[in-house]
């Protein structure tokens, strides 16, 4: 199965679609992470667009020791400011929090900070987060002069659930011990969902057939990390004989794993789904995240867990100690690869990945 060239091209240069939106009069909201409910933007008639670090260097406005991903994402948001109608930043980790501060001083566009509670397993946090989503809805209504009614939210929830179902069905083709979908293809499809109009995406993905797909590697791996937009990292694993059967990435399963309940109270349903979804490494309790990784390891029958840790990404770097400790009890080998700029570190990353795959496969 060949991934359509439109999706391939989009993943190489996602900002190209921003010009298309501008030319057709579509208002675009740049958002930073998968804790931001796209449904609310869609119900306001706006196009959500996940901001990335693709084709950008870290911003000169931040110190050298700040997460290079957050810094380069900031750089892209500022650089393409004219193509956006507004921005939404989720407060998940320190760099994203401060990205909001800096962006506030650098953009004249409407900007919203969604305060995501870090103690997710607390009824009080759910109540607070619901109020944050109401504030977000009001922000969209006031700044874009629209009225977001329940019907609009029902429709957008249904549309996004359909996208998530499609992504999950592709993902599950690799469950148990199956080798169906190469990770590089799967990642491209997930990323496209964050940039394309959902209705268009759903039609395109329904037409994909992975029956005759070929995979390169056969050592089954789980990849742990935050957001990975660099296809080169995935390629290194595949070319080294690895098969990424599962992941817990923000640009992977964490984006689509849970659906929003289609209930009478859309805001409550959204707050429940987005706060209690598969957790990001920045969240608490850690045990929930460890349980999720354990589940993935069993469900996808992986032989090893590879952590791609962006340099200075505190949440991943703390977690990796505990993930290793947990998995070693089940004799699942792990490796942490810290990296800053894959393009400049290919040789080092490749030799470590090869060594890991060899030890796991052997």
Partner 1 sequence: MSLPRRRSRILQTTRKIGELIMTYFSKVSDAKSKGKPVAWVTVFTPVELLYALDIYPVAPEHFGALCSARGFIVDYLEEAERCGYSESLCSYSRCSLGYVLSGMNGIMPPPDILITFRNSCDVYVKWWQSLHMHLGTPLFVGETPYVLAPEDLDNYVLDYVVKQLEQLIEMAEERFGLRFDMEKLVEVLKLSDKASELWFETLKLRRFRPCPLGGRDSASDIFPLVVMQGTEEAVSFYEELLREVKGRIGRKEGVIEDEKFRLLFDGIWIWHAFDLIKYFEDKGAVFVYEPYSEAWAYRLDASEPLESIARKILSMGLNVDIDIRIERFLENIKQYQIDGAVFFSNRSCKTWSATQLVTADILNKKVNVPYLLFEADMADPRQYSEAQIKNRIDAFIEVLSES
Measured distance CA(241)–CA(236) in Å, rounded? 9
Among 27, 118, 168, 204, binds partner 1 (CB under 8 A): 118
- Decide if residue 104 touches partner 1 (CB under 8 A): yes
Q: Which stretch binds partner 1 (CB under 8 A): 56-64, 145-153, 218-226, 293-301?
A: 56-64
- Specify the 3-state DSSP secondary structure of 216: coil
Q: Which CA distances in Å does 62 have to 31, 65, 103, 163, 204?
A: 19, 8, 11, 35, 39
Backbone angles phi, psi at 106, to 5 degrees: -120, -10
- Decide if residue 86 touches partner 1 (CB under 8 A): no
Interface map 321-340 toward partner 1 (x if CB under 8 A): xx-xx----------x-x--
Instruction: Give the nearest distance from C-beta 281 to partner 1 in angstroms.
Output: 8
Write down the residue that tokens 């953009």 correspond to: 107
Interactions with partner 1, residue window 244-263 (CB under 8 A): none
Q: Which stretch binds partner 1 (CB under 8 A): 89-97, 181-189, 232-240, 293-301?
A: 89-97
- Specify the 3-state DSSP secondary structure of 362: coil
- Residue among 7 and 326 whose Cβ is closer to partner 1: 326
Q: How many CB atoms lie within 10 A of CB 333?
A: 15
Give the binding-site size for partner 1 (rule: CB under 8 A).
51
Q: What CA dihedral angle connects 40, 246, 249 and 4, to 10 degrees? A: -60
Among 195, 229, 272, 312, binds partner 1 (CB under 8 A): 312
Measured distance CA(310)–CA(19) in Å, rounded? 30
Measured distance CA(29)–CA(110) in Å, rounded? 9
- Decide if residue 314 touches partner 1 (CB under 8 A): yes
Q: How many CB atoms lie within 10 A of CB 206?
A: 11
Q: Which secondary structure element, helix H or strand E, spans residue 89, and what is its range? A: strand 86-91
Instruction: Give the nearest distance from C-beta 72 to partner 1 in angstroms.
Output: 14
Interface map 7-36 toward partner 1 (x if CB under 8 A): ------------------------------
Give the CA count within 13 Å in the CB-facing half-sphere of 96: 28
Binding site for partner 1 (CB under 8 A): 61-67, 91-95, 97-98, 101-102, 104-106, 113, 115, 117-119, 122, 124-125, 127-128, 131, 281-286, 309, 311-312, 314-315, 317-322, 324-325, 336, 338
């Amino acid at each position: 199965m060949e991934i359509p060239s439109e999706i391939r091209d989009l993943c190489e240069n996602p900002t190209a679609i921003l010009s298309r939106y501008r030319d057709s009069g579509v208002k675009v909201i740049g958002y930073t992470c998968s804790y931001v409910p796209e449904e609310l933007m869609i119900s306001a008639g706006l196009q959500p667009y996940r901001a990335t670090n693709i084709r950008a260097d870290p911003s000169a406005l931040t110190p050298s020791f700040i997460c290079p991903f957050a810094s380069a994402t900031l750089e892209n948001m500022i650089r393409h400011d004219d193509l956006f109608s507004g921005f939404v930043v989720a407060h998940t980790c320190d760099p994203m929090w401060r990205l909001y501060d800096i962006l506030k001083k650098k953009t004249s566009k409407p900007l919203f900070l969604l305060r995501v509670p870090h103690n997710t397993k607390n009824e009080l946090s759910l109540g607070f987060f619901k109020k944050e989503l109401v504030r977000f809805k009001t922000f969209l209504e006031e700044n874009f002069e629209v009225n977001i009614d329940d019907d609009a939210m029902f429709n957008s929830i249904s549309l996004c659930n359909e996208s998530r179902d499609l992504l999950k069905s592709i993902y599950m083709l690799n469950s148990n011990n199956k080798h169906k979908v190469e990770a590089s293809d799967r990642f491209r499809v997930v990323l496209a969902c964050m940039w394309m109009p959902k209705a268009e995406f759903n039609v395109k993905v329904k037409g994909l057939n992975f029956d005759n797909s070929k995979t390169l590697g056969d050592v089954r791996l789980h990849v742990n990390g935050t957001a990975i937009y660099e296809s080169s990292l995935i390629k290194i694993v595949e070319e080294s004989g690895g098969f990424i059967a599962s992941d817990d990435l923000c640009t992977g399963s964490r984006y689509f794993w849970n659906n929003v309940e289609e209930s009478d109270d859309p805001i409550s349903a959204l707050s429940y789904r987005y706060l209690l979804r598969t957790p990001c490494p920045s969240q608490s309790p850690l045990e929930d995240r460890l349980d999720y990784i354990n589940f993935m390891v069993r469900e996808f029958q992986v032989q090893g867990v590879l952590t791609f840790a962006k340099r200075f990404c505190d949440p991943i770097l703390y977690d990796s100690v505990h993930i290793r400790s947990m998995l070693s009890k089940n004799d699942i080998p792990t490796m942490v690869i810290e990296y800053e700029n894959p393009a400049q570190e290919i040789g080092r990353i490749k030799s470590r990945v090869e060594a890991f795959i060899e030890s796991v496969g052997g």
